[in-house]
Structure 1
Amino acid sequence: MGSANSADRRYLPETVQRSVKILVLGGFGVGKTSLIGSVSEIEPLSTEEVMSDASTGVDDLTGIGRKATTTVALDFGRITLGRRIVLYLYGAPGQRRFWDLWEGLAEGALGVLVLVDTRRLESAFDVLDQLERMPGLPFAVAVNHFPDSRAHPVEELREALDLPAHVPVLDCVALDRATSLDALTALTDHAMRVMTARKVRT
């Protein structure tokens, strides 16, 4: 019975009325692959490769611990929200040398979930700066809590990252399906409100 249930998940429910593309961005090692893997109702596509000596001196491993693999193209997953909306999740590599891929992946996206690691908050500034090259794309910031992360008040993080008041700042644990799903749901709601408001104004 378990295998039958797994097979059923490959197919969308007949109740689905809308499909939405969501981009998951963040610096190197913030948990993008983990988040997509934890929520995807299908076997996620991952292009993780073992890190080689070629990345020495190129990828900053400070604060990441024993990370041994890295995404080299993209991660892909799918999750159905409320039986009516299906999210197609695209996770982009976090290293600066892959940032040219982001604009292409952002095409057609409803919004962006930016994952942040408070142990290496400086990497989030670079990601948010890069988002400015994709103007008009709604985004939310999700703070991924690691075992050794310090808790910070939301408003403190908002001020530190210089985020406008309308940008949602959320908490999650990328390996935890429930909190990751909550973050994606909050982003989707926010992005839909933004898009609806724009249509009303035009």
Structure 2
Amino acid sequence: MSGTGRLRMAVIIASTRRGRFGPTVAGWFAERARRRGDLDVDMVDLAEARLPHQLTDHDEPTPPPVRALASRLAAADAFAVVTPEYNMSFPAPLKEAIDWYYEEWRAKPVALVTYGRDSGGLHAAAQLRQVFAELHAVTIRDGVSLPRYWEHFTADGRWPKATAECNTAVTVTLDQLVWWARALRGARAEHPYPA
């Protein structure tokens, strides 16, 4: 596979609660990614995925919602996880979604886009780095952190303000994600990842 071809990025909306802000952040991040011209974006909303809460045993059939999402994750060259921080961690539906899959994450880069109160989701990001490392995924160093995200609305209700720091962070994050996605896609094609 060519190192210069378009990349497929799955943007995962982790929050499933009513009134969530996740779709707003994910929509903004995806729009910025599409502007680049080298990324195809697949929006994965865990509220719509309806993954079962209980994992099956290895010899049991895979539930249809899990199979449906598996093909989308497997097709991705990179991931962007958009998550709030709840109680200094990330939401349970995201952990369930991560735990349903193994090979789909392996040797692929993950950007973390977090939001919350004062920490901006950095506690959730730190924990996600540990979880994805266990699955042999590569979380990129830089990400987007949105502390007190509600302060970044314009007077007419648009988000984010042009002066918000996230407008700079998103460019760096996408640059790093694309670099890792190209490098890892090439490496996987040349040498299968040792499992």
- TM score, norm. by length of structure 2: 0.56
Distance 1:87 1:152, change over 3 A: closer
**2:80 corresponds to:** 113
Residue of structure 1 equivalent to 2:70 = 103
Cα separation, partners in 2 of 1:196 and 1:38, compared to 1, 3 Å: closer
Alpha-carbon distance in 2 for matches of 1:178, 1:126: 31
1:10-51 per-position Cα deviation (integer Å, ceiling 9, x unaligned): xxxxxxx6322210114224625423325526xxxxxxxxxx
2:43 maps to a residue whose letter is G
1:184 to 156, 166, 174: 174
* Structure 1 residue 157 displacement after superposition: 2.8
AA aligned to 2:8 is K
Deviation at 1:136, TM superposition (A): 3.9
Gapped runs of 5+ residues in structure 2? 52-64, 147-159, 161-165
Is 2:168 the counterpart of 1:168? Answer: no
- Structure with the higher strand share, 1 or 2: 1
Q: Which amino acid aligns with 2:140?
A: P
Residues 89/142 of structure 1: CA separation in 2 closer, same or farther (3 Å cut): same
State the one-letter code of the partner of 2:170: S
Aligned to 2:163: none
Percent identity, aligned pairs only?
11
Quote how far apart the aligned CAs of 1:192 are: 1.6
> Unpaired segments of 5 or more residues in structure 1?
1-16, 42-76
| AA at the equivalent of 1:172 | V
| C-alpha distance in structure 1 between counterparts of 2:98 and 2:131, whole Å | 9
Give the corresponding residue for 2:40.
88
1:140 to 110, 127, 132: 110
SS state of the match for residue 6, structure 2?
strand
Whole-angstrom distance in 2 between the partners of 1:133 and 1:30:
30
Matching residue of 2:127: 157
Tell me the amino acid that sits aligned with residue 23 of structure 1: A
1 CA distance for matches of 2:117 and 2:14? 18
- 138-147 or 161-170: bigger deviation: 161-170
CA RMSD of aligned residues (A): 3.6
Which deviates the most, 87-96 or 170-179?
Answer: 170-179
Query: Is the CA contact 1:18–1:86 (under 8 Å) kept in the aligned structure 2?
Result: yes
Which of the pair is proportionally richer in helix?
2
Aligned ranges for residues 44-59 of structure 1 at < 5 Å? none
Give me the whole-angstrom Cα distance separating, in 1, the residues matched to 2:170 and 2:125: 20
